[in-house]
Homo-oligomer: A and B are copies of this chain.
Amino acid sequence: MNKPTRKGRAIVLLSGGLDSATAAAWAISKGYLLTAISFDYGQRHRIELCAARDVARSLGIRDHVTLTIDLASFGGSALVDKSIAVPKNRHEEIRSNEIPATYVPARNTVFLSLALALAETREASSLILGVNSVDYSGYPDCRPEYLEAFRSLANLATKTGVEGTHFEILAPLVSLTKPEIIRLGISLHVNYGLTTSCYDPTDNGAPCDECDSCLIRAAGFEAVNAPDPRVLAFMPSGEQ
């Protein structure tokens, strides 16, 4: 493999999921030096934070910040508010344009803003995230036009922007399907066994196999004809 051209420092949003792990591996392959940021935002699936830590370690990311921010105190989403049920077995509805109950108000804007603040303190000018607008579950803050608006804002919002830094928002998966993302990750040797995608896992981290995120992930691995190492890890021995 050719050695990548050395790029500057970048902040990567690392959720512990499949997409952000792939985006981080892509950035490393392109020569970025990464600082990772993860958010303890009151999500039901706290197992994500352990997964993010494991993913960072497996990718050799030494600077990993986990920030606590109590979005659950606002309520209004099935991902943080236990009084709202995570939708299950929506095999047909996933492809609709409806925004589901798992939408967290302004989540990517909050996360990108904090990544931007961290970027200024780390002298980084790139923000990297694993959103994609193909299998995106209908979230408005995963669309290319949203990302472009945030880029414009970043240059106006910051001391470094005013002083001449041009921020870039890199979303390398934005136009990829889930199977394409998985193929990219496999080619970059991402250990998907460390990642978790489920919106409603058991206490020990086992996926529910029924939420939108589990269904999209399962269809992705099926399409590339590869087993999902995360699912294998939670199968009773003998079934694998």
Chain A residues at the B interface, C-beta cutoff of 8 Å: 65, 67-71, 73-76, 99, 103-110, 112-114, 116-121, 140-141, 143, 145-146, 149-150, 152-154, 156-159, 161-163
Please measure, in the bound complex, the distance between the C-alpha atom of A61 and the C-alpha atom of B150, giving whole angstroms.
31
Does B146 lie within 8 Å of A153, measured CB to CB?
yes
Please measure, in the bound complex, the distance between the C-alpha atom of A159 and the C-alpha atom of B112, giving whole angstroms.
17
Please measure, in the bound complex, the distance between the C-alpha atom of A106 and the C-alpha atom of B167, giving whole angstroms.
13
Does B110 lie within 8 Å of A114, measured CB to CB?
yes
Please measure, in the bound complex, the distance between the C-alpha atom of A116 and the C-alpha atom of B104, giving whole angstroms.
11
Identity of the chain B residue whose Cβ is nearest the Cβ of A139 in the assembled complex: B159
If the complex has contacts A69-B67, A149-B149, are A117 and B156 also in contact, measured as CB distance less than 8 A? Answer: no
What would 6 A/B residue contacts be, using CB atoms closer than 8 Å?
A: A68-B69, A68-B70, A105-B121, A141-B156, A150-B157, A152-B152
**Residues of B contacting A158 in the complex (Cβ-Cβ under 8 angstroms):** 105-106, 109, 140-141
Please measure, in the bound complex, the distance between the C-alpha atom of A75 and the C-alpha atom of B117, giving whole angstroms.
10
Does A105 lie within 8 Å of B76, measured CB to CB?
no
Does B141 lie within 8 Å of A146, measured CB to CB?
no
Does A109 lie within 8 Å of B153, measured CB to CB?
yes
**Residues of B contacting A140 in the complex (Cβ-Cβ under 8 angstroms):** 156-159, 161-162
Shortest C-beta distance, A115 to chain B (Å), equals 9
Does B73 lie within 8 Å of A103, measured CB to CB?
no
Q: Which 7 A-B pairs have the closest CB atoms?
A: A105-B120, A76-B121, A106-B117, A105-B117, A113-B113, A109-B113, A106-B116
Does A117 lie within 8 Å of B157, measured CB to CB?
no
Does B76 lie within 8 Å of A120, measured CB to CB?
yes
Does A159 lie within 8 Å of B103, measured CB to CB?
yes
Please measure, in the bound complex, the distance between the C-alpha atom of A141 and the C-alpha atom of B120, giving whole angstroms.
14
Identity of the chain B residue whose Cβ is nearest the Cβ of A155 in the assembled complex: B149
Identity of the chain B residue whose Cβ is nearest the Cβ of A108 in the assembled complex: B157
Please measure, in the bound complex, the distance between the C-alpha atom of A69 and the C-alpha atom of B117, giving whole angstroms.
12
Please measure, in the bound complex, the distance between the C-alpha atom of A156 and the C-alpha atom of B110, giving whole angstroms.
14
Does A67 lie within 8 Å of B76, measured CB to CB?
no
